């Protein structure tokens, strides 16, 4: 039996797709929300570190299934290597209802006003595709506010570098743990400006769910008491309650159907039993994250779009960005950790912009607690990796180590990209994503600068030994992305240099939209999820207002 025609198909039930589904459903539009994974269930995986979304040595609790979802990594010399989610370089996002919002740490950053106009502030950067956004912080402010109140954010207004806001956070900030209290006092003595990290977690009971119990296992895991706020436990249930939204799990969308007039007519997909099916709609929204969204568009070829949907100017898949992380670790001669979870509670934004000789920058913050296996990889160069000395280090320093880390605002470039591989296919026979290119050299300079600041702070705090994260100044030339992946369907006003307009609408196909990190022009010096949610609210509002005219055009 054929599926019933609906108003809108949404592909991907993560940060963007979940928000869009709610916005459309509560306004009376019928929606099918496709998700290749399943609903997350905490008890199925509990707190097993080796299958968390951060480690994955034995798999990952929330997908994607490593046997069914290969990708291809293209090295600078052109060599193609087939990899799985269990390999480094895969740049996976969780594949389940809620996607990364199920297992993330929940940092809820608004980008700074400067983040939307990097080219105007810093000028042209050789070898980059750096550009201003077609929207400003002020344009997005109402949608940031909506995301904070509907999804649920805890925080305060003590960050002096934040953009103006019209309404306070709905929940108070989390109290500092011992590590944050100590480093906060140090930062103040150094003339810096520490403040509590805004979090998509309940500091008090909110939206019918309890307050966070502050356990040490948070990032990489689902929440045992459902106090972490993702789309799976906020907006998607609201959408379903209207009766206008059906969530189809275990379904892999293969391509978007584009007719001879250049309009999206629906999708072809494989259901949970592997049966090929068709779903038609008046409109399609793609929200599969920067890698899979680009892959789906590139696999959706038609007479008017022989190189993929919306790709007649060769911009789909370009400008892939993520976040290279930098910072430092310090060892203390006293217990600085009290394991009051989830660990990350304090940040500084003093170095996010206006650093002499640099483009952009990044925030620095205390980190989520490492569990014992991950902690084995965080120690000074030359430390023993096995035997009694290794075990002694684990026992002596687990409570005596502090980390001050943060994401660097990456400089986009045209050659960091997603394509589809001509030969490798996934479990369903769909050509897989191929990743190539690498980060801009300026990312290295930002890493050196920010790690040096982290080292200074930790030394001032009394650390007896400090070392920077990774090798100072070494940023590998490999595709970026990871869980902060962005940029592959750039937003802009000019169809020749962007994929979607400022409302996420593909320039070349009026009834096809993108609503995830793909549309971000630049990725900020922060975790991008709140910005993705804010943009999705804005796109959803635009679709609701213009649905009839777009449908009938």
Residue 1 pLDDT: 67
> What's the CA gap between 151 and 148, in Å, rounded?
6
Sign for the pseudo-dihedral over CA of 51, 56, 62, 66: negative
More confident residue, 207 or 479: 207
pLDDT band per the 50, 70, 90 thresholds, residue 46: confident
Q: What is the SS3 string spanning 451-506?
A: HHHHHHHHHHCCCCEEEECCCCCCCCCCCCCHHHCECCCCECCCCCCCCECCCCEE
Is the pLDDT reported for residue 261 higher than 60?
Answer: yes
pLDDT band per the 50, 70, 90 thresholds, residue 475: low
Is the pLDDT reported for residue 11 higher than 70?
Answer: yes
Residue 529 · residue 15 · CB < 8 Å: yes
Residue 173 backbone class (left: φ over 0; alpha: ψ -120 to 50; beta: rest): beta
Is the pLDDT reported for residue 233 higher than 80?
Answer: yes
Residue 408 · residue 442 · CB < 8 Å: no
Residue 336 · residue 183 · CB < 8 Å: no
As a whole-number percent, the residues of the chain with pLDDT over 70 amount to 99
Is the pLDDT reported for residue 522 higher than 90?
Answer: yes
Q: What is the SS3 string spanning 8-21?
A: EEEECCCHHHHHHH
> What's the CA gap between 98 and 2, in Å, rounded?
27
Measured CA to CA in angstroms, residue 315 lies from 142, 439, 496 at distances of: 29, 17, 8
Write the pLDDT tens digit of every residue in 430-470. Answer: 999 999 999 999 999 999 999 999 999 999 999 999 999 87
Span 531-550, mean pLDDT?
A: 98
Computed over every residue of the chain, the mean pLDDT equals 95
Write the pLDDT tens digit of every residue in 93-140. Answer: 999 999 999 999 999 999 999 999 999 999 999 999 999 999 999 999
Residue 133 pLDDT: 98
Residue 424: CB partners within 8 Å, gap ≥ 6? Answer: 70, 72, 80, 82, 431, 432, 434
Residue 247 pLDDT: 98
As a whole-number percent, the residues of the chain with pLDDT over 90 amount to 89
Report which of 93, 407, 52 is spatially closest to residue 217, judged by C-alpha positions: 52
- For 353, list phi and psi in degrees, rounded to 5: -150, 170
> What's the CA gap between 180 and 173, in Å, rounded?
13
Residue 191: CB partners within 8 Å, gap ≥ 6? Answer: none
Beta strands in 323-448 (DSSP E): 323-331, 346-348, 364-366, 401-409, 417-425, 431-436
Report which of 479, 487, 470, 469 is spatially closest to residue 524, judged by C-alpha positions: 487
- 265 CB neighbour count, 10 Å cutoff: 19
Report which of 502, 497, 495 is spatially closest to residue 539, judged by C-alpha positions: 502
Write the pLDDT tens digit of every residue in 332-370. Answer: 999 999 999 889 999 999 999 999 999 999 999 999 999
> What's the CA gap between 69 and 71, in Å, rounded?
7
Is the pLDDT reported for residue 66 higher than 90?
Answer: no
Is the pLDDT reported for residue 472 higher than 60?
Answer: no
> What's the CA gap between 21 and 200, in Å, rounded?
19
Alpha-carbon 446 to chain mean position: 20
Residue 270 pLDDT: 98
Q: Residue 285: in which H helix or E strand, if any? A: strand 276-286
Is the pLDDT reported for residue 22 higher than 60?
Answer: yes
Beta-bridge mates of residue 96: 38
Is the pLDDT reported for residue 471 higher than 80?
Answer: no
More confident residue, 403 or 342: 403
Is the pLDDT reported for residue 196 higher than 70?
Answer: yes
Report which of 121, 165, 170, 175 is spatially closest to residue 144, judged by C-alpha positions: 165
DSSP state of 250: S
Residue 295 pLDDT: 98
Residue 407: CA count within 13 A, CB half-sphere: 21
> What's the CA gap between 230 and 225, in Å, rounded?
13
Span 270-275, mean pLDDT?
A: 97
Give the β-pairing of 512-514 and 465-468: unpaired
Write the pLDDT tens digit of every residue in 360-397. Answer: 999 999 999 999 999 998 899 889 989 999 999 999 99
Report which of 227, 207, 208 is spatially closest to residue 217, judged by C-alpha positions: 227
- In three-state secondary structure terms, 154 is strand
Return the minimum-mean-pLDDT range out of 39-43, 199-203, 411-415.
39-43
pTM greater than 0.85 (yes/no): yes
Is the pLDDT reported for residue 319 higher than 90?
Answer: yes
- 272 CB neighbour count, 10 Å cutoff: 12
Beta-bridge mates of residue 196: 346
Residue 89 pLDDT: 85
pLDDT band per the 50, 70, 90 thresholds, residue 53: confident
Residue 47 pLDDT: 82
Residue 227: CB partners within 8 Å, gap ≥ 6? Answer: 201, 202, 209, 210, 211, 212, 213
Residue 450 pLDDT: 96
Sign for the pseudo-dihedral over CA of 378, 381, 385, 389: negative
């Amino acid at each position: 039996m054929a599926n019933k025609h609906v108003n809108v198909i949404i592909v991907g039930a993560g940060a963007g797709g979940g928000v869009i589904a709610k916005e459309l459903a509560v306004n009376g539009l019928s929606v099918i929300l496709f998700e290749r994974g399943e609903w997350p269930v905490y008890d199925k995986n509990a707190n097993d570190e080796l299958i968390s979304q951060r480690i994955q040595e034995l798999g990952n609790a929330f997908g994607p299934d490593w046997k069914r979802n290969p990708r291809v990594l293209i090295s600078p010399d052109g060599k193609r290597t087939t990899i799985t989610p269990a390999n480094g370089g895969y740049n996976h996002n969780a594949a389940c209802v809620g996607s990364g919002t199920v297992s993330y740490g929940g940092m809820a950053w608004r980008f700074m006003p400067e983040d939307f106009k990097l080219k105007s502030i810093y000028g042209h950067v050789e070898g980059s595709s750096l550009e201003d956004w077609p929207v400003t912080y002020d344009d997005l402010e109402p949608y940031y506010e909506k995301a904070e109140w509907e999804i649920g954010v805890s925080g305060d207004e003590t960050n002096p570098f934040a953009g103006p806001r019209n309404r306070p956070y709905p929940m108070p900030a989390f109290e500092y743990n011992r590590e944050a209290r100590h480093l906060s006092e140090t930062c103040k003595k150094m003339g810096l400006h520490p403040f509590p990290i805004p979090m998509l977690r309940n500091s008090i009971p909110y939206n019918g769910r309890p307050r966070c119990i502050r356990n040490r296992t948070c990032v990489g895991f689902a929440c045992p008491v459902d106090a972490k706020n993702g789309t799976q436990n906020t907006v998607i249930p609201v959408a379903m309650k209207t009766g206008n939204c059906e969530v189809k799990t275990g379904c892999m969308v293969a391509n978007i159907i584009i007719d001879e007039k250049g309009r999206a007519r629906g999708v072809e997909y494989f259901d949970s039993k592997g049966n090929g099916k068709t779903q038609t709609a008046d409109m399609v929204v793609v929200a599969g994250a920067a890698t899979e969204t680009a892959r789906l568009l590139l696999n959706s070829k038609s007479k008017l779009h022989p190189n993929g949907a919306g790709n007649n100017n060769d911009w789909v898949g370009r400008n892939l960005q993520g976040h290279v992380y930098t910072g430092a670790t310090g060892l203390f001669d006293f217990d600085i950790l009290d394991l009051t979870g989830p660990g990350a509670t304090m940040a500084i934004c003093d170095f996010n912009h206006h650093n002499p000789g640099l483009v952009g920058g990044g925030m620095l913050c205390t980190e989520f607690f490492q569990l014992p296996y991950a902690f084995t990889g965080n120690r000074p160069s030359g430390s023993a990796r096995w035997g009694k000395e290794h075990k002694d280090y684990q026992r002596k320093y687990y409570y005596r180590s502090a980390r001050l880390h943060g994401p660097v605002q990456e400089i986009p470039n045209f050659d960091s990209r997603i394509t589809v591989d001509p030969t490798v296919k996934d479990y369903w026979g769909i050509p897989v994503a191929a990743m190539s290119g690498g980060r801009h050299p300026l990312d290295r300079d930002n890493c050196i600068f920010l790690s040096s600041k982290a080292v200074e702070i930790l030394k001032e705090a009394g650390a007896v030994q400090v070392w920077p994260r990774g090798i100072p100044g070494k940023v590998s030339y490999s595709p970026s992305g990871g869980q902060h992946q962005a940029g592959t369907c750039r937003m802009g006003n000019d169809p020749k240099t962007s994929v979607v307009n400022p409302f996420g609408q593909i320039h070349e196909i009026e009834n096809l939209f993108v609503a995830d990190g793909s549309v971000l022009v630049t990725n900020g010096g922060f975790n991008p999820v709140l910005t993705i949610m804010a943009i999705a609210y804005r796109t959803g509002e635009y679709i609701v207002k213009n649905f009839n005219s777009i449908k009938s055009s």
